[in-house]
């Protein structure tokens, strides 16, 4: 299985390592021609404004938008969640997002870099053991559409959501050493 990882910024290597450990073939994506023959794509954490500008300058935004609209499965973590969301409540006026999952997010709403934290999440879809989630300048989900399934929450606030073949997380599962969210995503790609 070929899993593209948007390699413009962010935790590219950590996601690649996670998928390699699960038997998938990660492919760094930096140019539009690299989007062909992918089974899925990952939009990693990083800085969403910068990633948005890099998507434009690399001429990746429109071809990736088309692939996503055609049903390419996607995993978005932190900044990737922001880029995949239908509404970004505090983004730049000219910032584009892919709008493939019906959620509204607010950037950095869980706090600044110094407010980073870890939390054990109960995620029924991956088993009974808590998932060690790492939150770094994390976005907050402020609205969830009718077709979006909330897989995990903190204080009743969604932090892991799924809609069809799109999975988004406010946190960085690639930094936890726990492969269960990557595995959950791959299982959705295979089905």
The Cα 92–Cα 140 span in angstroms is: 17
Number of structural domains (the chain) is 1
- Cβ–Cβ under 8 Å, residues 184 and 142: no
The per-residue pLDDT for range 53-65, each reduced to its tens digit, is: 899 999 999 999 9
pLDDT for position 96: 87
- Residue 161 annotated as catalytic: no
The Cα 82–Cα 104 span in angstroms is: 9
Considering the candidates 14, 15, 161, 172, report the single residue annotated as catalytic: 172
pLDDT for position 20: 97
Q: What is the SS3 assignment for 158?
A: strand
The Cα 96–Cα 49 span in angstroms is: 9
DSSP 8-state symbol, 129: S
Considering the candidates 78, 128, 142, 161, report the single residue annotated as catalytic: 78
Distance in angstroms between the alpha carbons of the first and the last residue of the chain: 12
- Residue 182 annotated as catalytic: no
pLDDT for position 93: 74
Domain holding 107, by residue range, is 2-190
- Residue 15 annotated as catalytic: no
Residues 23, 28, 33, 35, Cα dihedral to 10° = 50
The Cα 46–Cα 67 span in angstroms is: 22
Which of the four pLDDT bands, split at 50, 70 and 90, describes residue 42?
Answer: very high
Which of the four pLDDT bands, split at 50, 70 and 90, describes residue 95?
Answer: confident
Q: What is the CATH number of the domain that holds 142?
A: 3.40.50.880
Residue 156, number of CB atoms within 10 A of its CB = 6
């Amino acid at each position: 299985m070929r899993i593209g990882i948007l390699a413009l910024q962010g935790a590219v290597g950590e996601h690649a390592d996670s998928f390699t450990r699960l038997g998938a073939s990660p492919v760094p994506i930096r140019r539009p021609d690299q989007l062909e023959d992918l089974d899925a794509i990952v939009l990693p954490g990083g800085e969403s404004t910068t990633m948005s500008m890099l998507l434009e300058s690399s001429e990746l935004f429109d071809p990736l938008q088309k692939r996503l609209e055609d049903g390419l499965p996607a995993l978005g973590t932190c900044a990737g969640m922001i880029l995949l969301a239908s509404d970004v409540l505090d983004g730049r006026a000219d910032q584009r997002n892919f709008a493939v999952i019906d959620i509204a997010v607010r950037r950095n709403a869980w706090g600044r870099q110094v407010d980073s934290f870890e939390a054990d999440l109960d995620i029924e879809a991956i088993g009974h053991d808590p998932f060690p989630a790492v939150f770094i300048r994390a976005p907050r989900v402020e609205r969830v559409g009718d077709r979006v399934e909330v897989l995990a929450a903190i204080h009743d606030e969604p932090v892991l959501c799924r809609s069809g073949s799109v999975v988004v997380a406010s946190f960085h599962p690639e930094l936890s050493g726990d492969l269960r969210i990557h595995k959950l995503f791959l299982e959705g790609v295979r089905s």
